[in-house]
């Protein structure tokens, strides 16, 4: 999937330390019907206040790049951030077909980047490397308190 770079951080924004290539962090926004462009825009303009951003934000039609791929992002607490070259937000939709398309795009990107970084396609296991949810990071690495993408019920 082609990445829209309209809200990509510039060189003086965020962290430009290389992340370890251990985990992909899977998030979801918990902002029902918030499209990827709006979420990515909020990350970009809030960089110095909210200080929260991930690498990719995906919905049913596009994917925005925010943080530089391969570099530390500020999405899942200090420990998770250091280990993840790609953290991704799934946008949630009450419309079922939009939700399904967004989810399909999300899984496609997770697979693509896991492969690119040599990260195993396992989900939330006890292994040190793999695809992990933000919830897993909260419970296994700490310095985080979110449980997404679990426990949400917009669709």
Interface residues with Zn ion (CB under 5 A) are: 27, 134, 146, 148
Closest separation between CB of residue 27 and Zn ion, Å? 3
Nearest CB to Zn ion, comparing residues 35 and 148: 148
Closest separation between CB of residue 83 and Zn ion, Å? 15
Q: Exposed, middle or buried: residue 79 (CB in 10 Å: 0-12, 13-18, 19+)? A: middle
Nearest CB to Zn ion, comparing residues 73 and 119: 73
Nearest CB to Zn ion, comparing residues 30 and 69: 30
Closest separation between CB of residue 100 and Zn ion, Å? 21
What is the layout of strands, in order, in the sheet containing 23-28? 3-4, 63-65, 56-58, 86-90, 23-28, 130-133
Nearest CB to Zn ion, comparing residues 92 and 148: 148
* Nearest of 16, 134, 126 to residue 80 by alpha carbon: 134
Residue keyed to tokens 């967004």: 102
Round to whole Å and give the CA distance between 80 and 148.
14
Closest separation between CB of residue 11 and Zn ion, Å? 25
């Amino acid at each position: 999937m082609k990445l829209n770079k309209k809200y990509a951080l510039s060189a003086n924004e965020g962290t430009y330390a290389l992340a370890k290539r251990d985990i992909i962090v899977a998030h979801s926004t918990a902002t029902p019907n918030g499209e990827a462009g709006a979420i990515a825009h909020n990350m970009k303009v809030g960089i110095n206040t909210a200080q929260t951003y991930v690498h990719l934000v995906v919905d049913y039609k596009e994917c925005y790049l925010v943080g530089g791929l391969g570099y530390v992002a500020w999405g899942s607490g200090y420990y998770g951030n250091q280990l993840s070259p790609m953290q991704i937000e799934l946008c949630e939709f009450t419309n079922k077909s939009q939700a399904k398309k967004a989810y399909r795009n999300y899984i496609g990107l997770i697979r693509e980047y896991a492969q690119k970084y040599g990260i195993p396609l396992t989900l939330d296991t006890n292994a040190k490397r793999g695809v992990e949810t933000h919830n897993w990071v909260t419970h296994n690495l700490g310095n985080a308190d979110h449980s997404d993408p679990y426990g949400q019920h917009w669709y």
